[in-house]
Structure 1
Amino acid sequence: MQLELRHLEAVCRIAESGSLGRAAVRLGVSQPALSAQLRRIERVAGGELFVRGRAGVEPTPLGEFVLSKARRVLGEMDQLVAGARAAAVDAPLRLGCILLVLVDGFLEQLDRVMSGQEFAVSLEDSVTALSRMLGAGRYDVIAYGEVDDHAVPLPEGALSRTLVAKEPFCVRISADHPLAGRERIELAELAGESWMTLIEDDDGGPEALVAACAKAGFTPSLRYRITDRKMHYDLIAAGRAVSLSQPSAPGAAGTVLLPLVGDPITGRIRLAWNRSAVSARQADLIYRAAAAAYLANLDNNPYHRAWWEARPELHPDLG
C-alpha cells in the first residue's frame, strides 16, 4: 500500500480531533473503518502514530514527524486547488453550508440578487470540514454557525462577516408534553428528558448544552443524533426526545417550539469566503441574500419577532 492524500488527511483529522470517533464523524466514515485505515497507515509508516492519553489520542514522536510532512503536503495541494480555482473563467460559485434555517430560502434570494450567476450548493455536518474545504478551494463561500463563545478558525486568505450576532436557542418538545402550553420554560425543567444532539458537533453546540445544563443542575442525556429532519421531528412529536432549535425554525406537526428563560444558550451566524475567488461586490450581494433569507423566517415564531425587534444592534448590517 502507498500513502495517498486521503490517508494524510485522516492522520491530520485524528490529531485535530483528539479522538478517532470525532475524526470519523468529520471524515464521514465509521469509527471501525477509520481505525482499520489508521492501522494500515501505521504499517506503511513503520510504527504507531498515536497513543491514548488523558485528553484522548496524542501523536507519538513518529506521529509528529508524519503530521508535519502531511500538513505541508496538504497545504501545498490546497494552494494548487485554490490557485486553479481563481484562474478559472465563468466557474460557478460553490457554497457550503451547515443546516441553518435560512438555507431553505438562501438559493431563492441568491437567484434574485445575483441573476445569471451559477451556484453549486452542498450541505455539511461539520463546521471544521467547511472551513478546511474553504481553504482548499473546494468552496468559495461558507455559511455556518457558532454557539456561545466558540470561534471557528478560518484558513489563510479567507474573509468573514457576521450575519446575525446573537440569537437565543429555543427548545422543541412534543405538543403532548406537560410543558407544551407554557410561554417559556426553565432549562432545569427538562432535566429528565432524552436530548437530540445538534447535527454539528464542532461548532461549540454540544459543549454549550452540557455547560448550560450543568448550571441548571443536571447532566443531559444525549441519546440521539439524527441528520434526517423528518425523523428528527417525528421522534420529538412522539415524546421520545427534546432538542435545541434555532428560534426562526418553522413549525412541525406534533411539536412546539418554546423559548428558554434567560436565553442560556445563544448562537451566531456568519459567512466566510475566499477572497481570491469572490469579489467584494459578490460578497456583499451574498451577504444581503443571506440576510433576506434569515429575515423571511422571523415570523415563524412571534416571540422571536418581538425579541428581534427589541435588539436592533444585532441586526444584519445592510448599510
Structure 2
Amino acid sequence: MELEVRHLRALCAIADAGSLHRAARQLGVAQPTLSTQLTRIEQTLGGPLFIRERTGCRPTPLGRTVLGRARPLLADMRTLVREARAAAAGGDSRLRVGSTASRALAGWLRRLRRPGLEPTLQMDVSANALLRRVTDGQLDVAFVHEVEGCPLRVPEGLRLRVLVEREPQFVMLPADHPAAARPVVRLTDLADDRWMVDPTVDGEWDGVHRMLRAVGLNPRVLHGDYHTAASLVATGEVVTVCQPSSQSRPDTAVRRLHGDPLGVRLLLAARTRDELDAVFPALEEAYWEVARQSTAYRECLEGPVPLPGASFPPGARTATDRAEFVPAR
C-alpha cells in the first residue's frame, strides 16, 4: 500500500476530532471503514499512530511525527489547487488573511492590496483557531495576540514572527469616571467597578483575573464581547481592558494602567518564511500608524518611562520584533 493524500487527510481528521467516530462523520465515511483504513496505514508505516482509548484517540510519538509532516503537505496541496484554479480562471490571486481584533487591520489590508492580489479576511476571537487554519491551509497568514501567562498552542511547522514583544493593555472607562481625570489609572481606583471580559478570547479571562487578584481585587464580572463592552462603558455600567491603540470618545476614556500589569505579544504566523517576509512590512507600518493616532499610546511610547518590548520609535526595526522563534513545548 502506498500513502495517498486521502490517507493523510484521514489521519489529520482523526487527530483533530479526537475520535474515530467523529472523524468518520466529518469525512462522510462509516467508522468501520475508517478504522480499517487506519490499520492499513499503520501497517504501511510500521507502527501504531494513535492510542485507542474509551474516551477517544490520541497520537503516539510516531503519530505526532507523521502528523507534523502530513499537515504542511496537505496545506501545500490545497494552495497548489487554489492557485492553479485562479490561474486557469485568469482571476486575481487571493491572499487569505486571518486576524484577531486589531485597529491595524484596515491599514494592513490597504497596503497588501495591489493589482493581481486581493486579500481576504477571516476574523476570529480565538488565536489558536486561526493558527490551526494556517496549518491546515485554510489561511495563508494570521495576525494574532498571545496573552502573557497563557501560551498559544502553536502547531508544528508554523513560522512565527514577533511584531511587538509586549503590548501593554489599557483600560476603557466612562469619560466621567473620577479616575479618567488622570493619564494613568491604578487598578485600586477601579475597585468598586464592574468589569466586562470576553471569555471566548484565548487567555483573556485568565490574564485579567490574574491581574486583578494580584492587587487583591475580586470585582463583579460580566461576560460579553468587546463591542458590547464599549457600549456599556459609555453608559457607566462597566470598565474593560482594551488595546492601547483604542481611542477615547466623548463618552469613554482610554487610559494606561499603572505598572502595565497586563500585556500581550503580537505575532504573525505563516507556513513559510517567504510568506512572512511578503506581508510583515505592511503589517508593521499599519500597526505603528494607528499607534501614533492614539494619544494615550503615543504618550507612553514617547514618554520618559519606556515600555518593555514596545518602546522603540514607530517604524523602527529591532532584533526582537524582527525575530522568528520556535515556541517552547
Say if 1:115 and 1:101 are closer, same or farther in 2 by CA, change over 3 A: same
TM-score by length of 2: 0.69
Q: 1:235 to 1:75 in 2, by over 3 A?
A: farther
Q: Aligned in 2, Cα 1:115/1:291: closer, same or farther, shift over 3 Å?
A: farther
Within a 5 Å distance, the mapping from 1:26-37 to structure 2 comes to none
1:164-194 Cα deviation digits (max 9, x unpaired): 1222111001112222212211112222222
Matched ranges for 1:304-315 at <5 A: 304-309=297-302, 310=306, 311-312=311-312
CA distance in 1 between counterparts of 2:262 and 2:255 reads 13
State the SS of the aligned residue for 1:297. Answer: helix
SS in 2 for 1:306: helix
Matched with 2:236 is: 239
1:267 to 264, 269, 280: 264
Q: Tell me the secondary structure at the aligned position of residue 298 of structure 2.
A: helix
Change (3 A) 1:315 1:253: same
Q: Secondary structure at the match of 2:269?
A: strand
Tell me how far 1:216 sits from its aligned partner.
Answer: 0.9
Which amino acid is 1:154 matched to?
V
- Paired residue for 1:99, among 98, 101, 110? 101
Structure 1 residues 316 and 147, CA, compared in 2 at 3 Å: closer, same or farther? farther
* Worse overlay, 147-156 or 96-105: 147-156
Q: Is the 8 A contact 1:9 1:74 kept in 2?
A: no
Aligned-residue offset at 1:136: 0.7
Q: Distance in 2 between matches of 1:175 and 1:68?
A: 53
Q: Does the 8 Å contact 1:172/1:257 carry over to 2?
A: yes
Distance 2:277 2:171 in 1: 33
Q: Of residues 69, 81, 84 in structure 1, which corresponds to 2:78?
A: 84
5+ residue gaps, structure 1 = 14-36, 38-43, 45-58
Cα–Cα, structure 1 residues 316 and 122, in superposed 2: closer, same or farther, change >3 Å? farther
Task: Please give the secondary structure, in 1, of the residue aligned with 2:195.
Answer: strand
Distance 2:257 2:201 in 1: 21
How far did 1:147 drift?
1.7
Counterpart check, 1:211 vs 2:210 = yes
Q: How does 1:110-259 map to 2 (within 5 A)?
A: 110-111=112-113, 115-198=115-198, 200-202=200-202, 204-226=203-225, 229=227, 231-259=228-256
Q: Which amino acid aligns with 1:188?
A: T
Paired position in structure 1 for 2:279: 286
Quick one: structure 1 residues 129 and 187, their matched pair in 2 at CA, closer, same or farther if it must change by over 3 Å?
same
Output the aligned Cα RMSD: 3.5
Please show how residues 58-73 of structure 1 align to structure 2 within 5 Å.
61-64=53-56, 66-68=57-59
Larger radius of gyration: 2
Deviations 1:255-307 (A, max 9, x none): 000111111111221101012xxx62x52241111111111112333232132
Contact 2:12 2:70 in 1 (8 A): no
TM (norm. structure 1) is: 0.71
Q: Contact 2:142 / 2:269 at 8 angstroms: preserved in 1?
A: yes
Measure how far apart 1:61 and its partner are. Answer: 3.3
Shift of 1:158: 1.5
On the 8 A contact 1:166/1:314 being kept in 2, the answer is no
Identical columns (%): 25
Q: In 2, Cα distance between the equivalents of 1:117 and 1:181?
A: 47
**Gaps in structure 2 of 5+ consecutive residues:** 1-9, 20-24, 26-31, 33-50, 88-92, 323-329
Query: Partner letter of residue 109 of structure 1?
Result: R
Does the residue aligned with 1:157 lie in a helix, a strand or coil? coil
**In the alignment, what sits opposite 1:24?**
none
Q: 1:76 to 1:221 in 2, by over 3 A?
A: farther
Aligned to 1:41: none
SS class of match (1:307): helix
Taking the aligned partners of 2:18 and 2:72, their CA distance within structure 1 comes to 14
Contact 2:72 2:157 in 1 (8 A): no
Letter in 2 for 1:102: A
Aligned 8 A contact 2:52 2:58 in 1? no
C-alpha offsets along residues 32-67 of structure 1, whole Å, 9 cap, x if unaligned?
xxxxx9xxxxxx9xxxxxxxxxxxxxx993114x34
Aligned-partner Cα distance in 2 for 1:316–1:139: 28
